């Protein structure tokens, strides 16, 4: 799952996947603008078949935040 997320981030933002770390800030470190963030959230929703609320999306600042969010949604209740 982490590899898929990092592949998505790399593809959406045009950054080298090898440079991505859990503490990489999507906006500050990777240079994403608001449109990039929206497109990334849409890609996550599509690839993992989950829904991300606007409020939840605002809380996803780092790659690690995204990984934890997806993992929490993928784990059966």
* From 7, 33, 49, 56, the catalytic residue: 33
Annotate 5-74 with DSSP letters as a single string.
HHHHHHHHHT--GGG--TT-BTTTTT---HHHHHHHHHHHHHHHT----HHHHHT--BHHHHHHHHHHHH
Look up 23 and say whether it is catalytic. no
Catalytic residues: 33
């Amino acid at each position: 799952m982490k590899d898929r997320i990092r592949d998505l981030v790399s593809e959406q933002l045009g950054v080298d996947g090898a440079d991505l770390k859990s503490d990489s800030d999507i906006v500050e470190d990777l240079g994403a603008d608001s449109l990039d963030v929206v497109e990334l959230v849409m890609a996550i929703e599509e690839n993992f078949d989950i829904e991300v609320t606007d409020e939840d999306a605002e809380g996803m600042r780092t790659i690690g935040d995204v990984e934890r969010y997806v993992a929490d949604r993928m784990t059966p209740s």
